[in-house]
């Protein structure tokens, strides 16, 4: 299964791959150059297909759990001052996505969307300390009775050039469902109340919609 955000890119890439493969077959006489071009076209198509894959994830909603919003590796767990919305100290958990990871963003908790804002910006590498403040990003706050308010931030990276965010203020959302997509993108930061029990560690690999990253 592929994410709907990739349908246009997948179709265009398929057409380009076919044109390259067929064109090389009839226009290139050198056997090895011909095969190299055809192999390159196939590799390009496979990379795009794997990037936009959207595996089915079955989430059992639990109001006491905060689940991973994306696939990737935990790169930051620290107490920070969140300056955009809360303007106080929060516990930040950051998950980095490589180009090989699934790039679907899922809601980490169920609740109501009380804030959603897009910020244009730069395209620093996702692990850069300033990427969460300077890069293109979206900030979303979801609120429920158990967790209170939880903020997550989709952050573009050096390769990413488009963030898709489905969260709108007033929406009632369900834990584990589709919240957006980062095209060729790279990192999600989650901000939780200080004192929240964290169930992951730095360098741990997590699956979005499945793994519990914190509990109340």
186 noted as active-site residue: yes
CA 203 vs. chain centroid, Å, equals 17
**154: nearest Cα among 174, 177, 131, 129:** 131
**Active-site residue (options: 110, 131, 132, 186):** 186
Q: Decide if 164 contacts 184 (C-beta within 8 A).
A: no
Distance CA 129, CA 192 (A): 19
**192: nearest Cα among 156, 142, 119, 157:** 142
DSSP 19-45: HHHHHHHHH---HHHHHHHHHHHHHHH
| Cβ count near 197 (within 10 Å) | 12
DSSP 80-112: EEETTTT-EEEEEEEEE--TTS--EEE-SS-EE
Q: So which residues are the catalytic ones?
A: 186
């Amino acid at each position: 299964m592929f994410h709907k955000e990739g349908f246009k890119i997948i179709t265009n890439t398929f057409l380009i791959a076919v044109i390259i493969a067929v064109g090389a077959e009839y226009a290139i006489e050198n056997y090895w150059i011909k095969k190299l071009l055809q192999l390159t076209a196939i590799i390009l198509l496979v990379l795009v297909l794997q990037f936009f894959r959207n595996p089915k994830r079955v989430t059992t909603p639990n109001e006491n759990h905060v689940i991973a919003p994306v696939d990737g590796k935990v790169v930051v767990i620290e107490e920070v001052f969140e300056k955009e919305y809360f303007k106080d100290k929060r516990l930040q958990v950051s998950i980095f996505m490589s180009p090989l990871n699934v790039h679907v963003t899922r809601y980490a908790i169920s609740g109501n969307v009380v804030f959603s804002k897009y910020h244009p910006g730069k395209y620093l590498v996702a692990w850069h300390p300033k990427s969460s403040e300077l890069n293109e990003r979206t900030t979303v706050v979801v609120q429920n009775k158990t967790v209170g308010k939880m903020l997550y931030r989709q952050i573009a990276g050096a390769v990413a050039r488009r963030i898709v965010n489905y969260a709108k203020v007033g929406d009632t959302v369900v834990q584990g469902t589709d919240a957006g997509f980062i095209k060729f993108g790279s990192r999600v930061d989650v901000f939780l109340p200080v004192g929240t029990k964290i169930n992951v560690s730095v360098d741990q690999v997590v699956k979005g919609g499945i793994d519990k990253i914190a509990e109340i």
